[in-house]
Amino acid sequence: MLLNEVLNQLPNINKCLEKGKILIIRIDINSPIINGKIIDDYRIRAHSYTLRLASDAGARAVVLAHQGRPGQDDFTSLEVHKPYIEKYLERPIKFVDDIIGPEARRQIKELKDGEILLLENVRMLSEEVIEKVPEAQAETMLVKKLAPLADYYVFDGFAVAHRSQPSVVGFPMVMPSCMGPVFEKELRALSVVFEKRGKGVVLLAGGAKIPDTIKAVEQLLKNGFVEKVAFGGLVGFVFAVARYGVLNTALKQEVEKGGYLPYVERARQLLSKYGEKIEVPVDFAINQNGRIDVDVFSLAQQPLDIGKSTTMQYKEVIDQAEVAIFSGPMGYIEDERFATGTVELLRAAAKKKLILGGGHTILAAEKAGVIDKAFHVSTGGRAFISTIGGEEMPAVKALLTSAAKFRL
């Protein structure tokens, strides 16, 4: 089904905004966190608009969101996010250290018109990190405990739209549902890229999510949605190793220590099939008492940025493009010395129709001063390119099912 048809069939948030009604709103405020501190709050800013719409309409908003995954350094309580939401809403909200327990349910029942209640990190429920079909997720405790307390469900978390989890696909099965404004905006931007069918579209793919990136890029190339892919970040490192076979003893130890060896073979297969469409770094920046650039054949440690020659090479690719999708930084942008490649390419891409995706990409774009020049800022970088590549969005399927069943 074409995205324009999907947009025509899905009710938007206006269908669910009624004074006194209780809305369960699934947003995505998962943010980059270092040492327990949020270092970029773009997603929170974006979703504050959604929450303001609900509050201003006199609806009673129950907010579901997550931060990180169990076992990861950024897996924290959403209490950290509360002051940021209040800052952008310019009004207080409630927070409860509970999700489906008696205290959470009591506070939901006692909400007054216009009030907002943020529940605890939904991934603290083990069932939320397990993916199943929507019908099974409708039987989870999360849905069974909360759905009877609410009138409508609003899905606005584009970055988790590709996850078949209870908070994403369970609620639409049992209650009238709408798409939120952030999600709607994402779908409209996707439709623009789909219309291009790859002509003049370049993807700059960086970051550290190697398997997800390889999977998404494979689908993008297979379906012809991009003309060129230029790799950076850790995934660029893996592709450089795959193309040039530069596994000297020291570098092989780095690859094995990082657990990247299985991905080198996958990258090699992708290069064999689509090599003319893939750009791989020819040099990298490393830290040796400061930043120095080395070519791939001299590399003996895990790099921290793409080098100057690679940056020039990628700028030439961008110059030939009409649309530049930037998903994931080219280097370790938290350190100014190794943000150079990312910043320079973002500034070059900003002269085109630039689509930004992912928390760290947005942070880099703000550093580069191009955030306001972007055609679209996606709240879910990997979700964005996965969807372009043809990956199904379970959230869309669930919302379509709900629309047909409840007909708002």
Considering the domain architecture, whether residues 102 and 197 belong to the same structural domain is answered as no
359 is an annotated ligand-binding site residue: yes
CB distance 108 to 145 below 8 Å: no
The whole-angstrom distance between residue 80's C-alpha and the CA centroid of its chain comes to 20
Q: Which of 97-106, 369-378, 381-390, 394-403 has the lowest mean pLDDT?
A: 381-390
- Name the 3-class secondary structure at 98: coil
Rg (CA), the chain: 22
The H or E element that residue 383 is part of is: helix 381-388
74 is an annotated ligand-binding site residue: no
The H or E element that residue 294 is part of is: strand 291-295
Residue 252 scores a pLDDT above 90: no
* Residues 7-27 pLDDT 10s: 889 999 999 999 999 999 999
Considering the domain architecture, whether residues 27 and 128 belong to the same structural domain is answered as yes
68 is an annotated ligand-binding site residue: yes
28 is an annotated ligand-binding site residue: yes
123 is an annotated ligand-binding site residue: yes
Considering the domain architecture, whether residues 49 and 157 belong to the same structural domain is answered as yes
> Which pLDDT score, from 0 to 100, does residue 1 have?
53
Considering the domain architecture, whether residues 297 and 375 belong to the same structural domain is answered as yes
361 is an annotated ligand-binding site residue: yes
Considering the domain architecture, whether residues 340 and 248 belong to the same structural domain is answered as yes
Considering the domain architecture, whether residues 197 and 320 belong to the same structural domain is answered as yes
67 is an annotated ligand-binding site residue: yes
Considering the chain, what percentage of its residues have pLDDT values greater than 90?
A: 73
Considering the domain architecture, whether residues 129 and 159 belong to the same structural domain is answered as yes
43 is an annotated ligand-binding site residue: yes
CB distance 6 to 399 below 8 Å: no
47 is an annotated ligand-binding site residue: no
Residue 272 scores a pLDDT above 60: yes
What's the CA gap between 136 and 153, in Å, rounded?
18
What's the CA gap between 262 and 336, in Å, rounded?
31
360 is an annotated ligand-binding site residue: yes
The count of domains in the chain is: 2
163 is an annotated ligand-binding site residue: yes
pTM greater than 0.95: no
295 is an annotated ligand-binding site residue: no
Find the CATH number of the domain harbouring 204. 3.40.50.1260
In which domain, by residue range, is 267 found?
186-388
Considering the domain architecture, whether residues 331 and 355 belong to the same structural domain is answered as yes
What's the CA gap between 59 and 115, in Å, rounded?
7
Considering the domain architecture, whether residues 63 and 196 belong to the same structural domain is answered as no
Residue 55 has which token pair? 């509050």
List CB contacts of 341: < 8 A, sequence separation 6 or more: 232, 285, 305, 306, 307, 310, 311, 330, 331
14 is an annotated ligand-binding site residue: no
As a whole number, the mean pLDDT across the chain is 92
Considering the domain architecture, whether residues 204 and 153 belong to the same structural domain is answered as no
- Read out DSSP for 263-290? HHHHHHHHHHHHGGGEE--SEEEEESSS
What's the CA gap between 168 and 280, in Å, rounded?
36
Considering the domain architecture, whether residues 223 and 320 belong to the same structural domain is answered as yes
* Residues 175-192 pLDDT 10s: 999 999 999 999 988 887
Residue 155 has which token pair? 């899905």
Considering the domain architecture, whether residues 166 and 290 belong to the same structural domain is answered as no
